[in-house]
Chain A
């Protein structure tokens, strides 16, 4: 199985659901975003031994986050995700496009994660659209 393992753990699902004000461990439709916890390349997590952002003694320094604003998000399901299974996540690039905006040119970038089960069947796809503004000169 290629891809990055995404174990669907009951405690993780419950913590995520509670953050949305729910009390059940049913898998919320936005749960695949929490794959970030298992993504070795996810930039918004403290990495041991590396400087971390945010305030400490001072207010911190500016970071670029994930390199753009989160503009849109989509989840598609081919079957429900089940607590206890381990999915395999594969990253893919999507479309890029641009359009004029009031503050400058808007650059849109689409990224996908596809989640496969142990039988290599596609279970869910997550699509993230981020936007970066190229300031007008």
Chain B
């Protein structure tokens, strides 16, 4: 298996963004506070944390290779993610050497816009299929 495509969230809920704020400690009201997000920040609604998207996309890596085998994970935040978004992640193994896989991944919203691109390195064990 050299490619995985998976929907990591369907119709993202504001409450999930609140859960992420609470767990991560990123309490910027931009992410959780509708009056602040719209009237002060000038956004259409609250914006999901880029780190929430990175975490959701990371599930594709951990389900594929195992939590303990992720050696490196880097992401670039390309476009905002909003409540109601459905995100699909495609991850590809781009090279393999000495038991390590190099991976490239992209997360897109329902409109097909890339919201996050990333790379990762994972240790490939006998159980990875």
Chain A residues in the interface with B (C-beta under 8 A): 12, 15-16, 18-22, 26-30, 33-34, 36-37, 39, 42, 44-46, 53-55, 58-63, 65-66, 69-77, 80
Contact = CB atoms under 8 A, between A and B. Distances in A.
B74 A72 contact: yes
B91 to A, nearest CB: 13
List the 5 closest A-B pairs by CB distance, nearest first. Answer: A54-B29, A36-B25, A59-B39, A55-B35, A74-B74
Nearest to B22: A15
Nearest to A72: B76
Given A30-B54, A33-B24, A34-B25, A70 B73 contact: no
Contact of A70 (B19, B22, B50): B50
B13 to A, nearest CB: 11
Interface of B: 8-9, 16, 19-20, 22-30, 33-36, 38-41, 50-52, 54-56, 58-59, 61-62, 67-68, 70-77
A28 B55 CA distance: 7
Contact of B29 (A53, A66, A73, A77): A53
B67 A45 contact: no
A42 B25 CA distance: 9
Contacts of A58: 35
A77 B72 contact: yes
A16 B49 CA distance: 13
